[in-house]
Amino acid sequence: MIRVLFAAKPEVWQSYRDVLPTAFADHGLAAEIVQLTDPHDPATIDWIVYAPNSELQDFTPYATLKGVQTLWAGVEQVEGNRTLTAPLMRMVDDGLTQGMVEWVTGHVLRHHLGMDAHIDGAAWAPVAPPLAADRPVAMLGMGVLGAACARALATLGFPVTGWSRSPKAVAGVRSVTGRDGLRDALSGAQIVVLLTPHTAATENLMNTETLGWMRDGAALINPGRGALIDDAALLAELPRLGHATLDTFRVEPLPQDDPYWVHPKVTVTPHIASATRPASAARVVAENIRRGEVGDPLLHLVDRSAALA
């Protein structure tokens, strides 16, 4: 019998209470699932299904742990935890990816087509937008989510430049890296999408200097992480930029007195760009644990070398 600890907020468990046992059974796993609040002996736990905002932050008692499968795509809150020595796997779920593709595509098209002018305005101004081929897009971050969004936009005809730590081969997408590549991507784009992970290297990625590389009138879309943006710098640059659509923030919920709420060039969405779908995520959890139990390579294993250096 495999013993699995579910370490997440109680309300999250409500979403997984039925689908996780079903997924385990479908994958041929005989598993006992305990919640963090249940009495349990840490030394008997084989696997942890984990949300990084869980109260579990010290993994030291879980001495025989085989691995930790997160429920989030982002792992920056846990990858540097030195008490965790077992393998860490990020959540890569088809539902999460598709949700992000739909949200990003929708907001890119909103800015591309100039929808706000027709939704908010009453004037008859028959000015057609350019075609997608004439609206370059920069995708900062070319992981699973960024690559999927870049591919979708390229399919629609947008010229997409993807910036990442290392070169990426995505059909129809130009790949650039490094500081020069970042400047190239930002200066050439009319719409910029942020989907890099939050690391020490990407903290305040969009600052006074890099925001200054963006074109006048360009739109910035952030479904990634709030800490990717220097908020004071963005507020200072907004007069010459076109718009900022922001889904993630340093403090969430976004405080009611935050200037983003009332700024005429800012759209706030409440961290809804994408979410893990419990039914499909449960299958990812079960498959990874199945793999670990039979000795197959784990999926979506996090390289923690940089975070622990």
Catalytic residues: 225, 271
User: Cα(111)–Cα(243) distance, rounded to whole angstroms?
Assistant: 8
Question: For residue 45, which of 97, 5, 94, 102 has the smallest C-alpha distance?
Answer: 5
Determine which helix (DSSP H) or strand (DSSP E) holds 103, and give its type and residue range.
helix 94-113
Which of 27, 98, 147, 72 lies closest to 300, judged by CA?
72
Using the structure block, give the residue that is written with the tokens 């989030």.
Answer: 72
* Cα distances (Å, whole numbers) of residue 6 to 32, 35, 71, 172, 278: 10, 5, 10, 41, 13
H/E element holding 148? helix 144-155
- Listed residue (193, 164, 161) closest to 273, CA to CA: 193
The token duo for 34 is: 């305990």
- Please answer whether residues 222 and 198 qualify as being in contact, where contact means their C-beta atoms are separated by less than 8 angstroms: no
14 vs 281: CA distance, rounded Å: 14
Q: What residues have CB less than 8 Å from 172, skipping those under 6 apart?
A: 151, 154, 155, 160
Cβ pair 210, 66 in contact under 8 A: no
Q: Put residue 170 in one of left, alpha, beta given phi > 0 → left and psi -120 to 50 → alpha.
A: beta
DSSP 190-236: SEEEE-----TTTTT-B-HHHHHHSPTT-EEEE-S-GGGB-HHHHHH
